[in-house]
């Protein structure tokens, strides 16, 4: 099917790639259906485009490419909502990337990852009760540090 | 909205399976103990708010990137080159 989007223009998607977020995404609770579109071949970046709101698109990324030590714990009750039983087989994790005007200062939201069951195509943004992470971790840590050092001088 | 006054050591019971204990009160900080079934989501109000705000900011940033860099949409290039 062909869909209209503000950010990516007109794109063709396969209906069996549509992912449902039964609770939406915080701030966009009414947007329940999404597709994930790679930014490029072998790129760790993807677009998460809403099918319910053509204006709503997020840049997301594979967290372990940038944060190899990233870890978090989702309670079983939350995973069961996604129908996940065998985690390794079904679970895919992305984090939302926010890119300010200086792209070197791009940050990843490690506090609230996107957890997706790739088999039944159900996803959620997991909101933890507590976490060692925040909503903004620099993905280009060295570059961000040098930009910030420059500001201080 | 129901507003209740509670003292340290007292409880609030919601439905038949959620119990909130007033564990301690120190100045303007109240410590609560919450017992609830595992499928009830509990989080500090500001965490959810913070994630909502961050998501909106990320979406706005991406929308702004489109205006700043129309050529950034590599997806379209990949798609075109395949055709």
- The number of beta carbons lying within 10 Å of the beta carbon of residue A35 is 22
Give the containing element (helix H, strand E) for A66. helix A63-66
- CB–CB contact A27 B61 (8 Å): no
- CB–CB contact B58 A109 (8 Å): yes
Positive or negative CA dihedral for A60, A91, B54, A50? Answer: positive
Query: In this predicted structure, what is the pLDDT of residue B81?
Result: 46
A23-33 residue pLDDT tens: 999 999 999 99
Question: Number of A:B CB contacts under 8 A?
Answer: 94
A28-58 residue pLDDT tens: 999 999 999 998 888 999 999 999 999 999 9
- CB–CB contact B59 A57 (8 Å): yes
Whether B82 has a pLDDT exceeding 60, the answer reads no
Interchain CB contact of B81 with A (< 8 Å): no
* The CATH homologous superfamily of the domain defined by A2-149: BH3618-like (2.30.290.10)
Phi, psi of B34 (to 5 degrees): -120, 125
Which tokens hold the place of A50? 């809403």
Query: In this predicted structure, what is the pLDDT of residue B72?
Result: 52
* Greatest Cα-to-Cα distance within chain A, rounded to the nearest angstrom: 53
Q: Which residues of A touch B47 (CB under 8 A)?
A: 111, 127-129
Positive or negative CA dihedral for B28, B31, B37, B38? Answer: positive
- CB–CB contact B68 A101 (8 Å): yes
A56 closest CB neighbour out of B48, B59, B75 = B59
Query: In this predicted structure, what is the pLDDT of residue B70?
Result: 55
A100-110 residue pLDDT tens: 988 889 999 99
Residue A153 and residue B82: Cα distance in Å, rounded? Answer: 47
Q: Which residue has the tokens 């809403």?
A: A50
Whether B73 has a pLDDT exceeding 60, the answer reads no
Instruction: Name the range with the highest mean pLDDT among A68-77, A82-91, A106-115.
Output: A106-115
Which tokens hold the place of B66? 């489109």
- CB–CB contact B53 A6 (8 Å): no
């Amino acid at each position: 099917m062909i869909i209209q989007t503000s950010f990516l223009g007109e794109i063709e998607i396969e209906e069996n790639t549509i992912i449902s977020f039964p609770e939406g995404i915080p701030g966009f609770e009414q947007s329940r259906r999404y597709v994930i579109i790679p930014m490029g071949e072998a790129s760790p970046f993807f677009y998460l485009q809403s099918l319910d709101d053509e204006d709503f698109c997020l840049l997301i990324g594979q967290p372990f490419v940038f944060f190899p030590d990233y870890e978090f714990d989702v309670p079983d009750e939350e995973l069961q909502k996604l129908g996940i039983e065998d985690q390794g087989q079904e679970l895919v994790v992305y984090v939302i990337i926010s890119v300010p005007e200086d792209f070197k200062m791009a940050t990843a939201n490690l506090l609230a990852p996107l957890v997706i069951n790739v088999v039944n195509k159900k996803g959620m943004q997991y909101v933890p009760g507590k976490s060692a992470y925040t909503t903004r971790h620099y993905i280009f840590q060295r570059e961000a540090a040098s930009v910030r050092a420059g500001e201080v001088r | 909205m129901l507003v209740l006054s509670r003292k340290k050591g007292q409880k609030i019971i919601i439905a038949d399976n959620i119990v909130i204990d007033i564990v301690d009160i120190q100045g303007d900080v109240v410590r609560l103990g919450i017992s609830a079934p595992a499928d009830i989501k509990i989080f500090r109000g500001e965490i959810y708010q913070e994630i909502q705000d961050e998501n909106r900011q990320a979406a706005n940033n991406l929308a702004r990137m489109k205006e700043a860099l129309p050529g950034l949409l590599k997806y379209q290039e990949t798609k075109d080159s395949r055709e």
